[in-house]
Amino acid sequence: MGLEMEPLLQAWSYFRRRKFQLCADLCSQLLEKSPGHQAAWSLKTRALTEMVYVDEIDIDQEGIAEMMLDENAIAQVARPGTSLKLPGTSQGGGPSPAVRPVTQSGRPVTGFVRPSTQSGRPGTMEQAIRTPRTAHTARPITSASGRYVRLGTALFEYIFHHENDVKNALDLAALATEHAQYKDWWWKVQIGKCYYRLGLYREAEKQFKSALKQQDMVDTILYLAKVYFRLDQPLTALHLFKQGLDRFPGEVTLLCGIARIYEEMNNISLAAEYYREVLKQDNTHVEAIACIGSNHFYSDQPEIALRFYRRLLQMGVYNCQLFNNLGLCCFFAQQYDMTLTSLERALSLAENEEEAADVWYNLGHVAVGIGDLNLAYQCFKLTLANNNDHAEAYNNLAVLEIRRGHVEQVGDLQRSYIAAQKSKEAFPGHVDTQQLIKQLKQHFAML
């Protein structure tokens, strides 16, 4: 008969194997016997925190309130190239916005969805009011986890992540900082995190800067950059990252942060340069590979993009999006034998209706490309069956209806002219829009 393991040791073993519920249950049993058991309290709070742990550096959900009631803008009309709100046309070469589509939240499609960009404009009210404790991250815990030695730090993380009670967490952190005579950088970072959550960005900036003076940490630089990002000061964030790289040469997270900002500002070619730097340091960095691949695809180099996506497949990434991208690369690289099999695989791996809608939409494009308009019509219809808000599918169905001669509304030239003018304002260099306006002016002259 095997020996019984000491309960606390067993609980710790569960924690190490990421069986957090079993660990918390065992700690609860221990605490029923001796309520003052500090180690059990500490371990239980840690286990409960880990279940809902969110890496604050990566996750940044901007809700409806923050978007509509944002009072942190420095200037109402920012100079070109200094704001993320109006990135303008691509400054650093690269493909123009005409061929580089944007997401719903207005940022260029990058081939990699980050936690902070998924909820730029929530589609549902449920998404809009979602609290951060429902989000999970697969990223390993950052260096802050090395601080879980005392009950106080574990308790703070429990209140902040599990209970999502930022005010109480802030009170605890303030008392702890006072107790440490303002010499403990870790507590200053936690106060900064609380201020950030409460929308007090300037106060958060002071705390992070103070913490950096005491202890130079990559994490703190990333938190401070998040503050500048939210204050719409991308150039300050870039300067901060570049200073950080002087002190931590080749640090992947800093290089990645610079690339993301350039991407957000629509300077795609500079972003790609920094992603290449990331790959020199870590050649299995999924985000960098996906973004460089996407950049090659939109720069009319599908064969090169295909190599990057195949690399991801070799690394074990196996999801709907990857096969979707592989299918499109094969199609534009004229490798038609692989196109349909890749897109079929993408359909079978689609986890929700929106993903399925995107694949059907791309299949519709393939059908248009090979001249099978009936198949294209069915594919766009299936797109709408999966996602009723798919604007591009409606647009393409309308084009197909015109080709079939089903024209119900023709001759509303004035509305067409107004729409074309708006299009010209949004993207002045779009040739098709300029030609349309020219045609409309000729029509007006004939009236």
For the chain, how big is the Rg over CA atoms in Å? 26
pLDDT number for residue 314:
93
pLDDT in tens, 360-385: 999 999 999 988 899 999 999 999 99
Q: Is the dihedral of CA 312, 318, 322, 327 positive or negative?
A: positive
Which phi and psi angles does 158 have, rounded to 5°? -65, -50
Please name the residues in contact with 257: beta carbons below 8 A apart, sequence gap of 6 or more.
222, 225, 237, 241
- Cα separation of 268 and 263, whole Å? 5
pLDDT in tens, 279-295: 999 999 999 999 999 99
Say how far residue 286 (Cα) sits from the centre of its chain: 13
Q: Which fold has domain 284-349?
A: 1.25.40
- Cα separation of 349 and 362, whole Å? 15
What's the predicted TM-score (pTM) here?
0.76
Mean pLDDT of 128-156: 51
- Cα separation of 290 and 329, whole Å? 13
- Cα separation of 56 and 43, whole Å? 21
pLDDT in tens, 407-438: 654 456 777 788 888 887 877 777 778 887 88
pLDDT number for residue 255:
96
pLDDT in tens, 385-405: 998 888 888 888 888 887 776
Cβ–Cβ under 8 Å, residues 388 and 381: no
User: Residue 51: CA atoms inside 13 Å, Cβ hemisphere, count?
Assistant: 15
Q: Is the dihedral of CA 255, 309, 91, 224 positive or negative?
A: negative
Whether 353-410 and 284-349 are alike in CATH topology: the answer is: yes
pLDDT in tens, 64-105: 556 666 666 556 667 777 777 765 555 555 566 556 766 655
- Domain residue extents for the chain: 7-51, 284-349, 353-410, 413-446
- Does the structure show a pLDDT above 70 at 21? yes
CATH no. for 353-410:
1.25.40
